[in-house]
Amino acid sequence: MKRLLKLICAASFAVAAACQSAQAQGPGINPQAWGAYKAKFLDASGRIVDDANGNISHSEGQGYGLLLAYLANSPADFEQIWYFTRTELLLRDDGLAAWKWDPAVTPHVTDINNASDGDLLIAYALALAGSAWNRSDYIESAAKMAQALLSHVVVSSGGRTLLLPGASGFDSPDRKDGPIINPSYWVYEAIPIMALLAPSNAWQKLSDDGLSLLRSMKFGPRKLPSDWVSLNRMPEPAKGFDAEFGYNSLRIPLYLVRAGISDKALLSRLRQGMTAEDGTLATISLASGEPKTLLSDPGYRIVNDVVACVTDGTKLPESSRQFEPSLYYPSTLHLLGLAFVGEKHPECL
């Protein structure tokens, strides 16, 4: 187990830096920013509250909360979030987490299906925290989740290795246009850690095929991927979902740069495609290329600011450098962006 702890921190450039931040250089998220975030979104029970979505909690939010608590070097908060996660969401018999917990209904878990990005984030955060804080129990839990992901949602189809968004409802037996993927579920920085926790060549192929698909999915006049994509034939927006570059997809460029992927052509295409004429980020109708919802929140804007930093060396504007929590999702992206720039590109601050 100790050897695995060391390997996790050495697994990749991005991960080594994160471990180094927690172990030697102080927190990747400053105490004031983390304090403001947890005051607004961390319930006393340990659940991260999605205040723009009926105050529900979900596996994605728990995974983000764990990762942010790790980056803030806060073991007590991490354990609080993990306690809720393991007691309230890890209810399935396959080792994956139920994705949705609703405080307004009983029982609180209203959909037992998993969300694979949430599982990835939880396992990743557990592995990093276990390595940084010498917690073998975290590593063991992370390894179980990594193996469950490999067994139930990492699949081979059409010559590609894919991440199904959930264990049920997305593959070809469940849908005529299956398999269905969500490109934003590929948490690229987590995949090398999964390969250490549950060794398999499938992880590297998952990462490679995810990037290849991103490069090929150029839907509509803005040449953007869709939140939900059918791979039954040629990649195309999946039926039954809005054909849009939506809230899910906004995080893709941030995931790429945090993983050390510096494909300037891909990053620039995404950045340009998701930006309205006035420079504001937007969700985009793929068919028309027209903005659907303009997103002026600094937590959304920082995605483009981080890409501009990585590709062009552009300094972050003052609005992105200062953190004030707004809603759960943009606030989360904001802290992930600031932690990355502070560690990897302090020249942009």
Cα–Cα distance for residue pair 166/304, rounded to 1 Å? 29
Cα–Cα distance for residue pair 46/48, rounded to 1 Å? 7
Asked if omega into 325 is within 30° of 0 (cis), the reply is: no
Cα–Cα distance for residue pair 271/245, rounded to 1 Å? 12
SS3 state of residue 42 = strand
Cα–Cα distance for residue pair 139/119, rounded to 1 Å? 14
Helices 75-84 and 59-71, axial angle in degrees (round to 10)? 170
Cα–Cα distance for residue pair 84/158, rounded to 1 Å? 38
**Residues annotated as part of the active site:** 60, 117
Look up tokens 């950045």; give the residue: 271
Cα–Cα distance for residue pair 125/67, rounded to 1 Å? 5
SS (H, E, C) 166-201: CCCCCCCCCCCCCCEECHHHCCHHHHHHHHHHCCCC
Query: Which residues touch 346 (CB under 8 Å, ≥6 apart)?
Result: none
